Structures are given as structure tokens and as C-alpha cells.
Amino acid sequence: MKEIFYNYDNLTKQDIDETIIRTKALIINDNNEITLGYCHKTYQFPGGHLEEGESLNQCLIREIEEETGIKLKHTEMKLFQKTTYYNKNYHDSGKNRENIIYYFIVKTNKTFNINNIKLDDNEKDGGFCIKTFSINVVEKVLIDSIPNNPINKVIVEEMLDIIKEYKKITNI
């Protein structure tokens, strides 16, 4: 598993006030199409926060079902990258945060099921929807989305790195 560490603020482990762990998935079908969530004019890989007592696999299965309606099996997912960020004064909270994101490759032809999606209020307010793109055009879609929301500059950079790594390890 590849590991990447970002620390633009030059923080030490002792500077960190809180740690948040997330799982995210590159959901890829046999046609090399990737499924993304879209909310508040921002694309994201489906996934979310690890809850107390959950394993990484359990978290991903729960989050994918909540956001896409897809019911995954453990055999459909493979952990391939861990990305850690140290962020000073995360979102003006006064806290320094360690964000750890575990990325999984999910190979499945299951399609999203709108009837099984369980959105939170923020996702509903942001017009959450699921979009699917060919792996060959998704990078352009992401780059074109950067002006739509200031946070996209950071999110898109990370997503492009993840897609690049996926293409590298799968020889696409």
C-alpha cells in the first residue's frame, strides 16, 4: 500500500489536537467508468468518517451504501493507498488536525440505487447526486470543476493524484 503525507504547515505529531479517519472508494466498473459523488459543486470519491468500533472495511461498506445505495462485499474492495494530512487551525476551528484517508479500489458492476441512499442534511442541502464518468475523461471533468468552489483546488489535486496512482497500478 502506498502512503502519502502532506504537511504544508510543518506541524509535528505533538502539535496535533485531533485525528479524523475516513475511507473513500474508487468505484470502477468493467467499462472503466468511475462513480463520484457531487455536492456543493464539488466532486468526491464516495466514502466518509470512521465511526467508533468500526473497521476500515465496515466503514467503507456502510458509507458506500449510504451514499450510493450499493451493497458491497469485502471481496469487492482492495485497500491501495493511505493519505495523511496535517492541517493547522483546520477550517478555523482553532484545532490542528490529522486527517487520514484510506483509499480502496472497488471493482463492481453494481449501479447506484437512489432508493437506498441515506443522505445527511448537508448532503441534501448541497444537491448531492451520483455521477459516472469514463476513467479517460474524469480528470478533465475534475480540472474543469476547480472554479466552481474554492475547496476544489485542494480536493481536485488529491483526486487527480489518486486517479494517477490507480492508472499506474492497473496499467491504464
Grid cell digits, residue 105: 479500489
**pLDDT band, residue 115 (cuts 50/70/90):** confident
Contact 96, 89 (CB under 8 A): yes
34-70 core/surface letters (b: 16 or more CB in 10 A; e: else): bbbbbbeebbbbbbbebeeebebbebbbbbbbbbbbb
Give the pLDDT of residue 35.
Answer: 95
Q: How far from the centroid of its chain's Cα atoms is residue 101's Cα? A: 8
CATH number at 38 reads 3.90.79.10
Contact 64, 27 (CB under 8 A): yes
pLDDT in tens, 15-63: 999 999 999 999 999 999 999 999 999 999 999 999 999 999 999 999 9
Full domain range(s) for residue 128:
2-170
Give the pLDDT of residue 57.
Answer: 96
| 3-state secondary structure at position 34 | strand
How many whole angstroms separate alpha carbon 143 and alpha carbon 22? Answer: 23
Domains in the chain, number: 1
How many whole angstroms separate alpha carbon 142 and alpha carbon 51? Answer: 29
Per-position DSSP letters for 52-108, written without gaps between them? TT--HHHHHHHHHHHHH-----GGGEEEEEEEEEEETTGGGSS--EEEEEEEEEEE-
CA distances from 41 to 49, 108, 152 (A): 20, 26, 8
Give the pLDDT of residue 15.
Answer: 97
Question: Average pLDDT of 143-163?
Answer: 93
How much is the pTM?
0.91
Contact 7, 86 (CB under 8 A): yes
Q: Residue 114 above 80 pLDDT?
A: no
pLDDT in tens, 62-94: 999 999 999 998 888 999 999 999 999 998 999
Of 4-8, 111-115, 128-132, 139-143, the poorest mean pLDDT is in 111-115
How many whole angstroms separate alpha carbon 44 and alpha carbon 24? Answer: 9
